[in-house]
Amino acid sequence: TQLLEQSPQFLSIQEGENLTVYCNSSSVFSSLQWYRQEPGEGPVLLVTVVTGGEVKKLKRLTFQFGDARKDSSLHITAAQPGDTGLYLCAGPNQAGTALIFGKGTTLSVSS
């Protein structure tokens, strides 16, 4: 069974702090996606990582895919209140018919 475990589950920080969110699995994934979801809305894709060891940057967000393609991390530099939300990692199931999601990390950034 493919599972994605995210940590921490909750994170509450002050504006300007840095943080890292982790997504781990015992299974190899062909790719991993990171989504951000705000209350009352559906998840929105931030990035897809495909190659082991890959690093992608999106403004203040840095995403890394582990060499063995079993884990990924999201690092936010100088967090802002607008970064508040639920961060989800997801990977395709073995059949390629759906995404398996982690339980998410709820981030709260206060000013």
Q: Which is nearer to other proteins, 10 or 18 (CB)?
A: 10
Residues of span 45-64 touching other proteins by CB under 8 A: 45, 48
CB of 49 to other proteins, least distance (A): 13
Cβ atoms 13, 108 nearer than 8 A? yes
Site of interaction with other proteins (CB under 8 A): 6, 30-31, 33, 40-45, 48, 86, 88, 90, 92-93, 95-104, 106
